[in-house]
Amino acid sequence: MSKQQEAPGRLEIVRSFVNSADLEEGTEELGSPHELVAWLAAHELAAGETRATRTDLDHAIGLREALRAVLLSHNGGPPAPAQSAATLDDAARRARVQLRFREARLGWVAPETLLKPDAGGVDGALGRILAIVHGSIADGTWSRLKACRVHSCEWAFYDHTKNRSGAWCNMDVCGNRAKARAFRERRATESRS
């Protein structure tokens, strides 16, 4: 993984979650309930003794793909479908995410520290991911988390460009492919004229 793709702070967890499925390579890190628990534990979202069911796995994958749709919309893609928002809302409901003012001591507190899931297990872990998203929206970094425009890739990356114009996860791979494809299309159009 390139450092240029990494998101700041805990937003990197969301980027890694979306990238738990590599569309181009056809690999899946969340292939079973056990692998889901291992991934959540490795990212300090759930304890190792957490148990997951096939339904938990389906919810996690649904959340991941809803987030990917949102990240594609951050990169000039179509607006995320209404189903994506419904999936995020459903995950927040299952996690019983609550705003916690009593945890805000004197001074500034990161927004995601004020949102806590009351649910345990996988639902609580997915709620922690949503709390990170909320914090990222609040601090202005959310719109910089994008998914690559190349349909066969859609790898999540953080846009570090000053003007927020990053379009591809990797200029040397996806960027060059897109530019070569555009060149071939222009040449084909010119030769028909």
pTM, two decimal places: 0.86
Task: Please provide the distance, in angstroms rounded to a whole number, between the alpha carbons at the two ends of the chain.
Answer: 43
pLDDT at 1 over 50: no
pLDDT at 26 over 70: yes
Per the DSSP assignment, residues forming a β-bridge with 145 are 158
Among the residue ranges 33-37, 40-44, 97-101, 112-116, the one predicted with the least confidence is 112-116
Domain segments of the chain as ranges:
3-192
Q: How far apart are CA 6 and CA 95, in angstroms?
A: 26
> What percent of the chain is modeled with pLDDT above 70?
80
Name the CATH topology of 3-192.
Answer: Jann2411-like fold (1.10.3300)
Per the DSSP assignment, residues forming a β-bridge with 15 are none
